[in-house]
Amino acid sequence: MDQTISHTLKVSRECKAANTVVSIGSGAGRVQIGGPHFALIAGPCTIESKEMLFDIAAKVKRAGAVILRGGAFKPRTSPYSFQGMGAEGLSWLSEVKHELGIPIVSEITASSQLPLFDDVDMLQVGSRNMQNYELLKALAQTDKPVLLKRGVSATLSDFLLSAEYIVAGGNPNVILCERGIRTFSNETRNTPDIVAIPLLRSMTHLPVIMDPSHATGLSSLVEPIALAATAAGAAGIMTEVHNDPESALCDGKQSITPADFESVAKRIFRLRDAIG
Q: Quick one: DSSP state of residue 151?
A: P
106 binds ligand PEP (CB under 6 A): no
Q: How many residues bind Mn ion (CB under 5 A)?
A: 2
Alpha carbon distance 40, 45 (integer Å): 15
Q: Which of 33, 42, 45, 229 binds ligand PEP (CB under 6 A)?
A: 45
127 binds ligand PEP (CB under 6 A): yes
Beta pairing partners, 148: 125, 176
Q: Which of 41, 45, 147, 256 binds Mn ion (CB under 5 A)?
A: 45
Q: Which of 102, 251, 256, 261 binds Mn ion (CB under 5 A)?
A: 251
Integer CA distances (angstroms), 220 to 43, 59, 210, 223, 249, in order: 17, 20, 16, 7, 19
Q: Which is nearer to ligand PEP, 9 or 236 (CB)?
A: 236
71 binds ligand PEP (CB under 6 A): yes
Beta pairing partners, 68: 42, 104
212 binds ligand PEP (CB under 6 A): no
Amino acid at 228: A
Please choose, out of 48-56, 58-66, 124-132, 267-275, the segment that lies near ligand PEP by the rule CB under 6 A.
124-132
Q: Which residues contact 254 (CB under 8 A, 6 or more apart)?
A: 45, 189, 213, 214, 216, 217, 218, 219, 222, 240
205 binds ligand PEP (CB under 6 A): no
Amino acid at 249: L
Please choose, out of 52-60, 125-133, 154-162, 195-203, the segment that lies near ligand PEP by the rule CB under 6 A.
125-133
214 binds ligand PEP (CB under 6 A): yes
Cβ(88)–Cβ(69) under 8 Å? no
Binding site for Mn ion (CB under 5 A): 45, 251
Q: Under the rule (CB under 6 A), what is the footprint of ligand PEP? A: 45, 71, 75, 126-128, 149, 179, 214
